[in-house]
Amino acid sequence: MMDEKKISRKLQHERRIVADMIALYCRKKHSTKELCNDCRTLAEYADRRTMACPKMAEKTFCSQCKSHCYRQDMRERIREVMRFAGPRIILHHPIAALRHLYYSKLKKSN
């Protein structure tokens, strides 16, 4: 079990990386500098869900969590964002992308 400081740091990191991925997606797909209304709505929703996550201390990523807290429509939208932005995020946030890869592989090997 993680201590409160590590959980808080993990929460802030997850919030930041999801927001960055949505911003990257919107910038490339919708050709905007600011988030469009749809992407802003998704970003706000994702942030609220992340802030309310009861399993932050236990899980690695939302995609690997056994209890899905996103509504079905939002889950599909965030998957689309992740499929697009995931491979591209390494160019924008290489350390975060490598950390994500490491924890993904670690979780799959357990």
Reported as a pLDDT band with limits 50, 70 and 90, residue 97 is: confident
Q: Report whether 104 contacts 25 (CB < 8 A).
A: no
Query: Is 55's pLDDT higher than 90?
Result: no
Counting residues of the chain whose pLDDT is more than 90, the rounded percentage is 45
- Report the pLDDT value the prediction gives residue 72, as an integer from 0 to 100: 94
Parent domain of 35: 4-109
Q: How many domains would you assign to the chain?
A: 1
- Report the pLDDT value the prediction gives residue 60, as an integer from 0 to 100: 67
First to last CA, the chain: 17
Angle 34-48-78 from CA coordinates, rounded to 5°: 60
Alpha-carbon distance of 88 to 94, in angstroms, equals: 10
Mean pLDDT, residues 73-93: 92
The whole-model pTM stands at 0.85
Query: Is 19's pLDDT higher than 80?
Result: yes
